Chain A
Amino acid sequence: MNKSNQEVLIQFRNLTRKFGDFYAVKNINLEIKRGEIVGFLGPNGAGKSTAMKMMALLLDPTEGEIWIRGNGELQKLTRKNKDYLLDNLGFLIENPAFYGDLSPRTILNYFAKLKGYPKDKINDRIEDVLKFLGLEAWIDKKIKTFSKGMRQKIGIASAIIHDPDIIVLDEPQTGLDPKARKEVRDFILELKQMGKTIFLSSHLLYEISEVADRVAIIHQGRLIAFDTLDNLEAKTKKSIINFELLNTEDKNQKEFLEKTKSLVHPLTGIEKDLSWVKYNEDTGVFQMIFDGDPLNQLKILRVLIDNGFKVIEFSVPKAGLLEDLFIELTTPEVK
């Protein structure tokens, strides 16, 4: 069956959760459409996990509602219809521990049965999912022998074992090494290719920027931005350029930096007081801020080359942009 990607699958309506007088989540409104990856970004303690736990009804909202599409229409999530509405969702919330003495096969078999997956297909499904995650050789090994990255993959497997359309992943890459983080990122993109809708929380800006179609930024329990990265960039009118020069000796850095500043400043589209160019000695990368206008980007590149700079790398990194956006949106003075 084909469904439109404009179809809303999940909706938060004024979602609020209080702990005593403290608002962990306050008046969040957002919607997730079929087939998209929505990144839920915020620092630790911003309210991401609380919001996700409310989706799973591990916590009750103090105010507001969560609506989930079930049987063709959006329905308000309640304890009464929880089993039915959450059937089509798979959750990985925080970093759960597994029963170390059991194998992935035993645990996933139990989870699949709980969700009513057809019994005669469970074994094949477990093998497929573990193959997808590269763990097929570990299917009957005890989980206590697994590394942290492998356990996290089992966490993802437990979220997708019943083949839900919507997958909710809370900080799936936290604590993983770069290789494992990349693997998880690739799985997320593959899941999207399969038509899954993914709601992904993280405080790792890069991980979100690499996969998310839209980004919801949460700070102190409030949703402060929710849009595509392109639109957010356009709204803030700021972006970052990274560039590297060929054979630049350290003694020349200061000279290059000053020269670059004077050359590019009129082209950045940013007020002089807010404009900056930096050099990172560890990475050998220059960084500058500009207004995100592609035309200005081109002008900056041209002026550097015309003035004899041997530019070998020139890019607008998404993570850098998101980091900048994040600081922009979450720091009151900057706002």
Chain B
Amino acid sequence: MRSSKQQEQILIDEIIVDREKAGLKRKITQIGNTLTFEFKRNLRNFIIMLVVFASVFFLLLLISELQLAQDVALPSDPVDYVGGYLTQFFGFLIIISASLFGGSIIVEDFKKQTGNLLFPKISKTRLLIGRLTSRYTLNAICVSFYYILISIVTYTKYSEIPITLWASLGWALLYTFTILTFVTFMSSIMRSTSATIIVSILFLLIVFNIVMMILRFAGLTMEPLFLLTYYEGIISGSLSMPNPRFAEIMMPTPGGGDPVLFTQWLTPTEPAALIGMLIYASLFLVLAYLIYQRRQSKSE
């Protein structure tokens, strides 16, 4: 627009919008707004995971009912019955759901450039707090839903619910959070959401287990507190503490050698589990946060 008019002094109407002032209250509100927004965004994943948790539960229930139909008696102790739902696929479910909810948590801002829309409006710290809280909440609801199903069925069969089931729920929620922080960390270093999900699941389901196996074959008998997935053991282990913390098992060696006696660690103690998972979660969160901040000034 070539115009000499703009050189003259003219008066312009200034529109006054009564926006909420920037400050602590706004910062807290922004976290709340992010929380609500993320609930909406993750609604589909949430429904999918609820269905998955329910499906796994009903399949295990079906197996249990088929056994009953074949005159296999119910365990006399409800704790043993409950344990049947928490030992087999439950750890796998937690890993899958945490990966699904957390896979995009950081990486999407760079992959899709949604960060260019968001970062001028909200700081990364607040965004991360809001996102992590909302996704953890949805994840925790899925886990709790699974426990509620267990408790209902247990009550119908035994007319009681073992009190340790709720302790186990507490450990499951803490373990879920720890896994979610691991996925968040992976999301901060990966280049896409799908890669984050795949690599996280690979690490949690395969790499850590292989490491544990290598240690076993190397003859190390120390408790593997440094392995994140080892803490999963406390979820079922806490049902009847003090549990046997480890078992001696005969396992064939790879390559067809003679079976060898190994020490297999089953569960950490409660204090060790609490401290270990908190250390892990803190470490992953701090690393993810620092990388997220660094990515702000380098990758964009």
Contacts and interface: CB of A to CB of B under 8 A. Distances in A.
A195 B116 contact: no
Contacts of A1: 13-14, 16
What band does the interface of chain B fall in when counting residues whose beta carbon is under 8 Å from A?
A: 35 or more
A4 B7 CA distance: 11
Contact of A110 (B7, B9, B23, B37): B37
A230 interface: yes
Contacts of B120: 56-58, 86, 89, 91, 93
Interface residues of A, number: 59
A163 interface: yes
23 contacts: A2-B12, A4-B10, A5-B9, A34-B12, A56-B119, A57-B119, A58-B115, A58-B300, A91-B120, A96-B114, A106-B40, A110-B33, A111-B117, A113-B30, A114-B121, A116-B19, A116-B21, A117-B20, A158-B117, A195-B13, A212-B1, A228-B3, A230-B4
Interface stretch (A97-105, A254-262, A269-277): A97-105
A229 B1 CA distance: 8
Contacts of A2: 11-14
Interface in A199-249: 209-214, 228-230
Nearest to A83: B22
B237 to A, nearest CB: 40
Nearest to B19: A116
Contacts of A57: 119-120
Interface of A: 1-6, 34-37, 53, 56-60, 82-84, 86-87, 89, 91, 93-99, 101-102, 106, 110-111, 113-118, 155, 158, 162-163, 165, 189, 194-195, 209-214, 228-230, 318
Contacts of B11: 2-5
Given A114-B33, A114-B121, A228 B2 contact: yes
Interface of B: 1-4, 6-7, 9-23, 26-27, 29-30, 33-34, 36-37, 40-41, 44, 112-117, 119-123, 296-297, 300
B6 A214 contact: yes
B4 to A, nearest CB: 6
Contacts, number: 139
Contacts of B27: 83
Nearest to A56: B120
Given A99-B41, A110-B37, A213 B3 contact: yes
The 3 closest A-B pairs by CB, nearest first: A116-B20, A97-B112, A83-B22
B104 to A, nearest CB: 10
A120 to B, nearest CB: 10
A232 B20 CA distance: 42
Q: Which of A87, A194, A212, A229 has the most CB of B within 10 A?
A: A87
Given A83-B27, A116-B19, 20 more contacts: A2-B13, A3-B11, A4-B11, A4-B12, A35-B12, A57-B120, A83-B23, A91-B120, A93-B117, A98-B117, A111-B117, A155-B117, A158-B117, A162-B19, A195-B13, A209-B2, A211-B1, A228-B6, A230-B3, A318-B2
Contacts of B16: 1
Contact of B2 (A82, A155, A195, A229): A229
Given A58-B116, A111-B117, A118 B12 contact: no
A73 B37 CA distance: 35
